[in-house]
Amino acid sequence: MQILTGKRVLMFVDDVYEDLELWYPKLRLEEAGAEVVVAGPDKGRTYAGKHGYPCVADAAIADMDHTTFHMLVLAGGFAPDKLRRDPKVLEITRAMHEDGKLIAHICHAGWIPISAKIMKGYRCTSTPGIKDDLENAGAIWEDKPVVVDRNQISSRRPSDLPDFCRAILDYASK
């Protein structure tokens, strides 16, 4: 079923991303008809996942224009800790949030919306390892497989990916 035909999805990548948290949503969204663009610090560079699976960046983060995307899906791992230091990543995340576009984050990816300062008053979940970070940013943390609050969808870990992707597809198909 091509429920996302015509929709563009942005994902970020850097070394030590969580392999399943990038690839499972990417492939699932493409199966649903979306065009998924994976942007890294350098276009065409191969980034290594935590478990060694490679991902070649389709584009450079610096070249991304948030207005051309319908949603942002953020994979976890340790890459978000590096990505959140990039002012362009934060600019895109904040702008998409302010435009009311979907921001979906899983596991450690919550670090990016924290640094973009968009978590205050939002219910969310994550790996328990960043629970305090989210709460200190003003979020209301819940220990659930997936939490949907307004234009944000969050999830805890790779085993929650079916719930995470189902929530993204449900939200995006409306």
Catalytic residue positions, numbered:
108
Work out the burial of residue 100: count CB atoms within 10 Å of its CB; fewer than 13 is exposed, 13-18 middle, 19 or more buried.
exposed
CA atoms within 13 A on the CB side of 106: 31
Closest CA to 151 of 136, 163, 138, 168: 168
b (16+ CB within 10 A) / e for 34-52: bbbbbbbbeeeeebbbbee
Q: How many whole angstroms separate alpha carbon 19 and alpha carbon 27?
A: 12
Q: How many C-beta atoms surround the C-beta of residue 139 within 10 A? A: 26
Where does residue 5 fall: left (phi above 0), alpha (psi -120 to 50 degrees), or beta otherwise?
beta
